[in-house]
Structure 1
Amino acid sequence: MTAYPTWTPAPRPGIIPLRPLGFGTILGRAFAALRQNPRVLLGFALVAQTVVTIVAAAGIVAAGIYSFGRLATLSPGDDDFDTVMAGSIALVGAVSLVLGLAANAFSVLVQAVIVREVAHAALAEKLTLGGLWRQVTPVAWRLIGYTVLLSLAVGVLVGILVAAFVLLAQASVAVVVGLVILAILVAVPVSLWLTVKLLLAPAVIVMERARILDAVRRSWSLTRGRFWPSLGIVVIISAAFGALAQLVSLPMSFLTTGITTVFSPTGDPEVGSVIALLVGLLVTEVLVVLLQSVALVVQSTATALIYIDSRMRREGLDLDLLAYVDRRELPGAVPTDPYRIHIGRDLPRWAPPAPGTAVPGFAGHPAPPFPAPPYPTAAPPTPSPGAATPPARDPAPSPRTWTPPGGAPGSP
């Protein structure tokens, strides 16, 4: 008796089709992915972003109170006043720089968790926050190191430019103004270009466990040929959330001004006006933090989708993902991570056969050589000397005609 394979259900669809993605698909699914796992995506990002913002703001305020509080014991005419003022400014600046780097490093860890979640969601898999964090932990320090190095590189470049402008200002202010305008005009396209070329470096570190320099090279190569779609997605998402933040903060500022006017119509610094001002600022900050969290999720999701799409187009990742989905449903199957196999695979490019080369046939039979144009015509065989002359064939019969009843003969 023949044993037939048992029926298995169709694979569950993920958040994206397992084929190269278009511009609209990436942009639309970047917003729609929030519904896939909102507890991990939106909840985790919101809590993390809120905690980081509060800790950074509290640290900067504490440093300012401690440093500038010493000025209360000095008079503006004292000899130590300028020294203490400079030291206070430097201390607050250093604390702000350190806390800013820490906030950026933690944000890139949140982005790494989102990238892993989107990679699993593309395969219709849903993991818990703990499972995602265990996958990010082995490369956490690489992500932090990449963020710190990138921030320091930008800071050093800006510092060199500022120092050069200050030195040139002593010679000619007009020249410095022109150079500043020129630098701004050049910095905008250069920053956008570098943003796109380095966009996939964190995703490469997370998905492929690559080192920092290897991740930068991979991001540079994966975005080759996909620069303009990636730039369009990044600009559209940033502009959309920037405009939304302005739409939220502007009415709140008017509302805060109105409440302050109601509580303090004379303009005196009363307790009610101070409370109204603090409440307005707090509500505005909460809304801005919420928008920043959603923007971080959408931008990270778009980055993960651009990474998957780039590998599908350059390395055939869609074939590996489809094979993984097929093997995953088999009983006892232990499939490997499809994102870590065939990394850097160079797919063969199709090209038309050259003249004179053999074209593959069907069913294992080789095809005849592909002739070069103009195609030669077969010449009649030449009989060898002494061979018998083949009998002449009968001439081809003439085409038969059809004669309709009572009419002329028709065409052949």
Structure 2
Amino acid sequence: MSDGHGPTPETPSGWSAEQPPPYSAPPASPWTAPGSPQQQAPAAPPYVQPPQQQAPYGPGPQTPYPPYPPHAPGPQPGYGYMPHAPALRPGIIPLRPLGLGDILDGTIKLIRSNPKAVLGLSAVAALLAAVPLAVGQAFLLNAMGPALTDPSSAATAEAELGSLYGVLGQYGGTLVSYAVQFVVVTLLTGVLTRILGRAVFGGNISAGEAWQLVRSRVPALFGVVGLMAVIMLVPVLVFVLVMVAITLNASADDLGWIVGLSIVFAIAYIAYYLFFRTRFAFASPAVVLEGRGPIDAMRRSWHLVSGDFWRVFGILLLTSLLVGLVAGILTVPFTFAGTLLGMFGSSSVAATVISAVLIAIGATLGAMFTYPFEAGVAGLLYADRRMRSEAFDLVLQTAAIEQQRQGWVHSSADELWHPSNSARS
């Protein structure tokens, strides 16, 4: 057996047939003693390429070097190309202009990063708004139940619903629910926006701390919501007054065009509502994060939406559809069970109470998901518009680098949202 240093019967020069020798004689082994027969052996004859092998540069599959990997299709980067560094992401979003996926993902991360504050506050707000509505609906169903099971008692049920007590039961709960919702949702939007402002930098803030920061902005928040309510309700009130006047002076032959006019108004009002809701979608974040007044915040929102109206409109509309779908899935089973129990529960007090509880649970679950998701999407869209129109991402990135160097998120990060810190202010 040969160790590869001396000649072998197959190859006198000491190289195997599978591995051809180099173009010169192999050097002496470093482990051979000076003057030994192996060191004094004559040099091997020069290498002659076997005739069956192809020339180094001739055609054939064999090449002296391994082939390069195939290039991907498309234009190749030029000389000196350096890939872009990934955007900083200290918190729930990358600090760069956001896409739809970033906004939805950031909203989910907002809920997951601080579930006690976000979901807890949302559940309390939803429950406060759902209870009056659930009580009113349970009363209405309880009154309608005997008429469905016993047609002879329909007149009694109708008289009961037409009484003052019945009217209060039908509409009182709805009006109280809307009033409570007006208050609690306004406050909840402000608190959630402040939590979001800190979560962008990777910081967490408790519900109590967020409330302390938002408390001074509550009047301005109610001012924004009140102005929005006026803008949305004035056309409806005007149309109702006009229709009442027309109906009082119309004949039976005019019913067709009155119905047609109502349909046209409904379509026009939907467009009107969506337009102004999109234009003023960033008013609440401007109040909370920038410290603006109601009118100034609405003007600020109008300015931020300008130039990107259809994108903002599309994201808000898609969010409403997604949220409505999920909220419906959570709400429908409880509402359906409460409705059946209220209608066919023998009009007992226990059945009415259980029906109200089930309806309230369904409404609470749906709203508990709806409130934070809509507030989160609006807040992140606001941040995205500032990044795109004011290069605000540069400010956020600089602050994030400094906070990473310090190792914690200081409360002064909330002040960075002020427009004076924008790169193009």
Q: TM-score, normalised by structure 2?
A: 0.64
The answer to whether 1:173 aligns with 2:255 is yes
CA contact (8 A) 1:23 1:229 kept: no
CA contact (8 A) 1:30 1:298 kept: yes
Specify the alignment match of 1:25 in structure 2. Answer: 102
The answer to whether 1:294 aligns with 2:294 is no
Specify the alignment match of 1:14 in structure 2. Answer: 91
SS at match of 2:420: coil
Q: Which moved more, 1:154-163 or 1:279-288?
A: 279-288
Q: Which amino acid aligns with 2:396?
A: L
| CA distances 1:112-160 after superposition (whole Å, capped 9, x unpaired) | 1111111111101111112111111111111112212322343332111
What is the aligned-residue RMSD (CA, Å)?
Answer: 3.6
Q: Report the Cα offset of residue 101 of structure 1.
A: 3.6
Q: Which amino acid aligns with 1:35?
A: R
Mapping for residues 223-262 of structure 1, pairs under 5 Å: 223-252=305-334, 255=337
Instruction: Supply the distance in 2 between the matched residues of 1:257 and 1:165 (Cα, whole angstroms).
Output: 34
SS at match of 1:342: helix
How many percent of aligned residue pairs carry the same amino acid?
A: 26
Specify the alignment match of 1:8 in structure 2. Answer: none
Q: Which moved more, 1:129-138 or 1:27-36?
A: 27-36
Q: Which amino acid aligns with 1:196?
A: T
The answer to whether 1:275 aligns with 2:350 is yes
Instruction: Supply the distance in 2 between the matched residues of 1:275 and 1:334 (Cα, whole angstroms).
Output: 51
Mapping for residues 11-410 of structure 1, pairs under 5 Å: 13-54=90-131, 97=175, 100-169=178-247, 170-171=249-250, 172-252=254-334, 255=337, 269=346, 271=348, 275-276=350-351, 278-329=353-404, 337-342=415-420, 346=424
Q: Report the Cα offset of residue 192 of structure 1.
A: 1.1
Instruction: Supply the distance in 2 between the matched residues of 1:42 and 1:338 (Cα, whole angstroms).
Output: 26
CA contact (8 A) 2:331 2:365 kept: no
CA contact (8 A) 2:90 2:400 kept: no
Larger Rg: 2
Residue segments in structure 2 that go unaligned for 5+ positions in a row: 1-87, 140-158
Instruction: Supply the distance in 2 between the matched residues of 1:139 and 1:253 (Cα, whole angstroms).
Output: 36
Q: Report the Cα offset of residue 322 of structure 1.
A: 1.4
Pair 1:328–1:319, CA change in 2 (3 A) = same
Instruction: Supply the distance in 1 between the matched residues of 2:340 and 2:294 (Cα, whole angstroms).
Output: 51
Instruction: Supply the distance in 1 between the matched residues of 2:303 and 2:188 (Cα, whole angstroms).
Output: 25
Q: Which amino acid aligns with 1:50?
A: L
CA contact (8 A) 2:342 2:355 kept: no
CA contact (8 A) 1:13 1:123 kept: yes
Instruction: Supply the distance in 2 between the matched residues of 1:142 and 1:125 (Cα, whole angstroms).
Output: 26
Q: TM-score, normalised by structure 1?
A: 0.65
Instruction: Supply the distance in 2 between the matched residues of 1:237 and 1:221 (Cα, whole angstroms).
Output: 22
Q: Report the Cα offset of residue 88 of structure 1.
A: 9.3
Q: Which amino acid aligns with 2:399?
A: Y
CA contact (8 A) 1:56 1:103 kept: no
Q: Which amino acid aligns with 2:289?
A: M
Pair 1:289–1:342, CA change in 2 (3 A) = same
| CA distances 1:315-336 after superposition (whole Å, capped 9, x unpaired) | 1111111121233355699956
Pair 1:179–1:344, CA change in 2 (3 A) = farther
CA contact (8 A) 2:281 2:378 kept: yes
Instruction: Supply the distance in 1 between the matched residues of 2:325 and 2:236 (Cα, whole angstroms).
Output: 27
| CA distances 1:338-381 after superposition (whole Å, capped 9, x unpaired) | 1114367647xxxxxxxxxxxxxxxxxxxxxxxxxxxxxxxxxx
Instruction: Supply the distance in 2 between the matched residues of 1:278 and 1:287 (Cα, whole angstroms).
Output: 14
SS at match of 2:307: coil
| CA distances 1:211-262 after superposition (whole Å, capped 9, x unpaired) | 111111110111123222322222222222323344445444654577689x
Pair 1:162–1:345, CA change in 2 (3 A) = farther
Specify the alignment match of 1:387 in structure 2. Answer: none
Residue segments in structure 1 that go unaligned for 5+ positions in a row: 1-10, 63-80, 348-412
CA contact (8 A) 1:52 1:103 kept: yes
